[in-house]
Amino acid sequence: MIFTAHVNIMPLKELLDPQGKAVNESLHSLGIQAIQNVRIGKHITLFIEAETKEAAHTIADEATKKMLYNAVMESYTITVE
């Protein structure tokens, strides 16, 4: 069965996000003042062949740890459907 895993990888809260800051300022100059902060990360969709949802989650977790994210600068969440 094919499961879809959604991996969100974001810069750690403690770290500056210069890209997000630049976008935030640009939104303000476009007149959208209600947005107070912007953080930009990655959204990765993995299509996984597995027997169960839990097995798919384990595979997504392994792939994320081995390759997709940088533990020093980023955190991640995984949801499988």
Contact residues for a second copy (CB under 8 A)?
A: 2, 6, 8-10, 20, 23, 26-27, 30, 32, 34-50, 56, 59, 62-63, 66-68
b/e 14-48 (16+ beta carbons within 10 angstroms → b): eeebeebeeebeeeeeeeeeeeeeeeebeebebeb
CB of 80 to a second copy, least distance (A): 12
Closer Cβ to a second copy, 53 or 68, answer by number: 68
Closer Cβ to a second copy, 29 or 72, answer by number: 29
Closer Cβ to a second copy, 13 or 72, answer by number: 13
**Burial (0-12, 13-18, 19+ Cβ within 10 Å), 1:** exposed
CB of 20 to a second copy, least distance (A): 8
